[in-house]
Structure 1
Amino acid sequence: MADPHDHDDHHDHDHHHHDHSELAEMDARVRALETILTEKGYVDPAALDQVIETYETRVGPHNGARVVARAWADPAYRERLQKDATAAIAELGFTGRQGEHMVAVENTADTHNMVVCTLCSCYPWPVLGLPPVWYKSAPYRAKAVRDPRGVLADFGVTLPSDKQIKVWDSTAEVRYLVLPERPAGTETWDEERLARLVTRDSMIGTGLALPAEDAA
């Protein structure tokens, strides 16, 4: 089980998660590897495209948004999610590789949670789809631990100075899902409407749920 790390502010180098040159280099490497594997007959391009399409569009963060919306709307479900996230997520039909051992961590008025994988890119595919490029990057993995408040600033998120930030390190054994704070003004909303406010980044902890007016 990974341990959370509590952090205060530290000075550090900026982390640019929109570094286009870095993305271009990585994309070129991926394409070159795909070409080699295809030529050797190890990869079927059509099958690979189908897998990518499934996780980017059909799965994506949509499954996770349904989990969060259910937790917001149903206190009993939220309790089950906090006690055994793997089982509670499976109640909604979301299971599979990279989601066998899930833990849900809840944001509160006093605490904000953020997830990183410092060793590689462990990520809960069944609820969040494919990990974004920045999640797998060395700068994010390093800075998330050293300066989480700075990472949040890079993503345009500013938290009160007295709000505690907990960083959770995903591993091959445990993957985390952040349960963001429910936006104000949504007390009477149904789950479908609530799910529209849940973003991928809010479930990683590098973002917040959208305000109510964004789904009004």
Structure 2
Amino acid sequence: MRQAPARMAHDHPGHEHGQHPPSDMELRVKALESVLVEKGLVDPAALDAIVDHYQHKVGPRNGARVVAKAWSDPAFRARLETDATAAIAELGYTGRQGEHMVALFNTPSLHNMVVCTLCSCYPWPVLGLPPVWYKSAPYRSRAVIDPRGVLAEFGVSLPQGIEVRVWDSTAEVRYLVIPERPAGTERLSEAELAALVTRDGMIGTARL
């Protein structure tokens, strides 16, 4: 998340972290992992399996597939509007933190944005683990008080005529923003459409 004016930090999803030394947090995690493995308390293979699960089976690519299908399949979109949990389950995305889903559709006059003001409730099956900034106190408080200001820090400047609606995730309900389909994408396949969708777009802190 890029450094925002004095209040929030925002990580860059496409940034090549390999070009920089590991952070203090990464070093501490690695040291802790080494100690636990050395003492026989953690199985490295089990850790690798967990990481692989969240990288390849649970994550933003799942949500991107949901969005792309909603863009290209009117019947699926209708089911997503009626019962997002069931529609998302059609694609095989179910489980913990995704039991009760609601899809929020952006329009030319409405921009949806998601926050969890109490902790970090987040739709894991379709977005993976929440980014650090989503869990931060500044985002959780300011997204409700000053959503346009927060969006501006993410590089999103909305005309005054567009309503910004903020949705508060809870342990009972989690949200997935369906961004507007970009113009000129009528001939793209679902896979090509999915490649256009970003994690932040599905939280509502980016526009496509």
TM-score by length of 1: 0.80
Residue 143 of structure 1 deviates from its aligned partner by 1.4
Residue 45 of structure 1 deviates from its aligned partner by 3.9
Cα pair 2:8 2:133 within 8 Å, conserved: no
CA distance in 1, matches of 2:80, 2:145: 29
Supply the AA of the counterpart residue of 1:201.
D
With over 3 angstroms needed to count, the CA separation of the structure-2 counterparts of 1:63 and 1:32, relative to structure 1, is: same
SS at match of 1:113: strand
Cα pair 1:69 1:191 within 8 Å, conserved: yes
User: Within 5 Å, which residues of 2 pair with 1:111-190?
Assistant: 111-190=110-189
Unpaired runs of at least 5, structure 1:
1-11, 210-216
CA distance in 2, matches of 1:118, 1:25: 27
Residue 49 of structure 1 deviates from its aligned partner by 3.1
Supply the AA of the counterpart residue of 2:51.
I
CA-to-partner distance for each residue in 1:42-69, whole Å, 9 max, x for gaps?
Answer: 6434323321232124432111111000
SS at match of 1:109: coil
Cα pair 1:17 1:140 within 8 Å, conserved: no
With over 3 angstroms needed to count, the CA separation of the structure-2 counterparts of 1:174 and 1:150, relative to structure 1, is: same
TM-score by length of 2: 0.83
CA-to-partner distance for each residue in 1:103-150, whole Å, 9 max, x for gaps?
Answer: 000000111001111111111111111111111111111111111111
User: Within 5 Å, which residues of 2 pair with 1:63-142?
Assistant: 63-142=62-141
Whether 2:8 is the aligned partner of 1:15: answer yes
Supply the AA of the counterpart residue of 1:17.
H
With over 3 angstroms needed to count, the CA separation of the structure-2 counterparts of 1:176 and 1:25, relative to structure 1, is: farther
Identical columns (%)? 70
CA distance in 1, matches of 2:7, 2:126: 29
SS at match of 1:177: strand
Unpaired runs of at least 5, structure 2:
12-21
CA-to-partner distance for each residue in 1:6-62, whole Å, 9 max, x for gaps?
Answer: xxxxxx9632335xxxx9565566557656766776643432332123212443211
Cα pair 1:16 1:154 within 8 Å, conserved: no
